[in-house]
Amino acid sequence: MTAQLRWPSVAGVAYGGDYNPEQWSREVWREDVALMREAGVNLVSVGIFSWALLEPKEGVYDFAWLDEILGLLHDSGVAVDLGTPSVSPPAWFFHAYPEARVTTREGVIMGFGSRGMASHASPVYRVAIARMAAALATRYADHPAVVMWHVHNEYGVPVGEDFGPQAVEAWRTWLRARYGTLEELNAAWGTAFWGQHYDDWEHVGAPAATPTTPNPAMKLDWARFTDDALRECFRIERDAIRAHATQPITTNFMAHQSWNTDLWKWAAEVDVVSDDHYLVGQDPQAHVALALSADLTRSVGGGKPWILMEHSTSAVNWQGRNIAKRPGEMKRNALTHFGRGADAIMFFQWRASRYGAEKFHSAMVPHAGPHSRVFREVTELGADLAKLESVVGSGVDAQVAVLYDWESMWAQELEWRPSDELQFRGQMRTWYERLWRDNVTVDFALPTHDLSAYRLVVAPSSYLVTADAAARLTDYVRAGGTLVVGPFAGVVDEHDAVHAGGFMAPLRDVLGVTCEEFLPLREGERGAVAFADGASIIGDVWQEDLTLAGAEVVATYASGPGAGGAAVTRHVLGSGQAWYVSTRLGVEELKEVFVRVYADAQVVPPGYPEGVEVVTRRVGEEGFSVVVNHRDEPATLNVTGTDLLTGAVTDDGVLEIQAGAVAVVRLGSHHQGGGS
């Protein structure tokens, strides 16, 4: 998978954030570096939005200010992750090359005055970003402050797609390479439907605004094309830097929030994986989404340590209600990322901007200045991270894999599905939360990965399953693995065409069941699911009419359109077992399924009190458990070892953890698990 992951040369846990010195005076710069030292900051990302200052006129460069700030940072012991500013071309660029602007699906050409990349397909944009990356790399390849390169910013947002003429031209080239002939394209897209047959490449357009739903196979390919085009832009800059400089190169991902970018493919292109994560303030369990995001980031990077490139010290500014973090929350967030493999903890941004669109976004130095709760907590976090050097480089223990496929997400979220309430991300989050509450740590994977090391493979939302992927899952189970699959699975192939043989046809061998008809529920409708042993739970949104093909029925529908039919099945195949869950269940309801699945898989949840998150990093024989108490009350856990943050030793095997507190325990040899 990932060719070579290389860590920037920063000692211990890297700590810092985005730093935008161009918004401040020299006097503030001097205060900044003094405060960075006070806070324990050792790495900042500089220059991400600086194109207009670095190249004030086409071909005229001004690096003097950057030289100065890099020198100042270096003298202060702060290393630099140097950005390339391709996400924010200057006004002169769009004036000189108006054709580089992005066209929306509706045909609106977007103007200047905000941020977001130019058209990924624009030849002049591609030339300009290569030139800028090369100019920076030539100048700073050997600068002692620069330990890493940060290409662009969050590919795919705020805009990833472009529907302008240059993009359509690139799209046709991409399609020719993929299909070779129009016959192949017509077959793959099923253009016999609605008379969409093409007999000239020039007639193939983008899936822009259409009178009604566009061809889904075309849209799915468009998502693949957009992802590839964005990655081409990344490669252009990466290779321009690599021609001159040797430091590791990254770009910041957005894990579970990434829509346009298939991070399995992206991770193979970077030297080190980095990620941005922001809490959704409305979500009272936002820390669960955080854990998911962290596990996904680590997984796309092949389990290696990764960089938390951005998170927030308190509120963001771009949600409807921007909820401030309460005391201790930032530390819980940061150390959860750390526990799940992040060896660098960074924020957006160092100092709050006085002007511009993000002036209400929190920062390490807030508008209130250093004499503030936030800065005190930032400084405390810096001191805590400095105690964790021995954990750096370790991996994370996981016996369970969760399948996560961007292509399947793109396909599932196309228009005109049986129910738009059954969604990829929602299903992923709910099933993940079940595992999270049970303190069962997971990796994410594709079905085509080697899954043999996992006791259990969980597929919450696998709508698109290729024949190859299905064969791999079948082999995994036959060889002794346990698989549990959520509703609306194995429905279509790589072209979003229903599998020949019907819904779930490729999963028939492994699951011992297929689906004859989907039975979505009306809004607010629910359906009871009764287990043979008397247990009963309620599902919503969705039921299915299943046809058994070797599986046993574990639970049946007691009400709803599927009443009397199978709801949950289990199939013994070779030395393994495969489960199918054909309705939508909440986190609580899933307990009834998972308790049985865990038993099959011989996965034993550690039994820690619910709401206390424990994740263990391991290097060789040594283990470190990061314990985060999300509850409003203290808890005791059976954990033996030394808390690296406080020095407290729990040699009696009982760790007491206060409400909202975090411990990082270097584990002793005793038994772990359980508590109250």
Closer residue to ligand GLA in complex, CB, 154/600: 154
CB of 78 to ligand GLA, least distance (A): 19
Q: In one letter, which amino acid is 612?
A: V
Query: 246: left (phi > 0), else alpha (psi -120 to 50), else beta?
Result: alpha
The distance of closest approach from Cβ of residue 434 to ligand GLA in the complex, given in angstroms and rounded to an integer, is 28
Other residues' Cβ atoms within 10 Å of the Cβ of residue 565: 19
The residue from 55, 154, 377, 589 that is catalytic is 154
Q: Minimum distance between the CB of residue 43 and ligand GLA, rounded to whole angstroms?
A: 16
Going by the DSSP 8-state scheme, the letter that residue 77 receives in this structure is: T
Q: Which two tokens stand for residue 558?
A: 């007691």
Residue with Cβ nearer ligand GLA (85 or 660): 85
**Residue 517 appears among annotated catalytic residues:** no
Buried b (16+ CB within 10 A) or exposed e, 327-340: ebbbbbbbbbbbbb
**Of 314 and 336, CB closest to ligand GLA:** 314
Q: What is the largest CA-CA distance in the chain?
A: 77
Nearest to 325 by CA among 660, 657, 663, 662: 660
Neighbours of 266 (CB within 10 A): 22
Q: Which of 55, 161, 310, 494 is catalytic?
A: 310
Match 């890493």 to its residue by tokens: 148
Closest separation in Å from C-beta 300 to ligand GLA: 18
DSSP string, 517-528: EEEEPPTT-EEE
- CB closer to ligand GLA out of 334 and 445: 334
The residue ranges that bind ligand GLA (CB under 6 A) are 153-154, 276, 278, 310, 316, 348, 358, 361
Question: C-beta of 592: minimal distance to ligand GLA in Å?
Answer: 38
User: Cα(first)–Cα(last) distance of the chain, in Å?
Assistant: 41
**Shortest reach from residue 358's CB to ligand GLA, in Å:** 6
Q: Could you tell me what percentage of the chain is helix, strand and coil, using 3-state DSSP and rounding each to the nearest 5?
A: 35, 20, 45
Minimum CB separation of residue 302 from ligand GLA in Å reads 24
Cβ distance 42 to 79 under 8 Å?
yes
Name the residue nearer to ligand GLA (CB basis): 219 or 311: 311
User: Structure tokens of 556?
Assistant: 């049946």
For the CB of residue 86, give the shortest distance to ligand GLA in the complex, in Å: 13
Indicate the residue among 163 and 348 with the shorter CB distance to ligand GLA: 348
- In whole angstroms, how close is the CB of 154 to ligand GLA at the nearest point? 5
By beta-carbon proximity to ligand GLA, the closer residue of 278 and 598 is 278
Query: Which amino acid is residue 137, in one-letter code?
Result: A
Give a three-class secondary structure readout of 238-270: HHHHHCCCCCCEECEECHHHCCCCCHHHHHCCC
- Closest CB to ligand GLA among 153 and 226? 153
The two structure tokens encoding residue 573: 């195949």
Q: Is 235 helix (H, G, I), strand (E, B) or coil?
A: helix
Tell me the closest approach of the beta carbon of residue 160 to ligand GLA, in angstroms: 14
Residue 399, class by beta-carbon neighbours within 10 Å (0-12 exposed, 13-18 middle, 19+ buried)? middle
Query: How many CB atoms lie under 10 A from the CB of residue 564?
Result: 8
Rank residues 348 and 350 by Cβ distance to ligand GLA and give the closer one. Answer: 348
Write the CA distances from 338 to 58, 291, 342, integer angstroms.
42, 10, 4
Alpha helix stretches (DSSP H) within 141-248: 165-179, 182-189, 216-242
- Could you tell me the smallest distance in angstroms from the CB atom of residue 276 to ligand GLA? 4
The CA-based dihedral angle spanning residues 222, 227, 232, 235, taken in that order and rounded to the nearest 10 degrees: -170
Nearer to ligand GLA, 87 or 511 (CB): 87
User: Is-cis flag, bond preceding 158, omega within 30?
Assistant: yes
Between 309 and 511, whose beta carbon lies closer to ligand GLA? 309
Residue 499 Cα distances to 178, 412, 413, 507, 515, angstroms: 21, 14, 18, 10, 12
Nearest Cα residue to 8 out of 387, 335, 266, 306: 306
How many Cβ atoms are within 10 Å of 62's Cβ, its own excluded? Answer: 12
Decide if 421 is catalytic: no
Hey, which residues are catalytic here?
154, 310
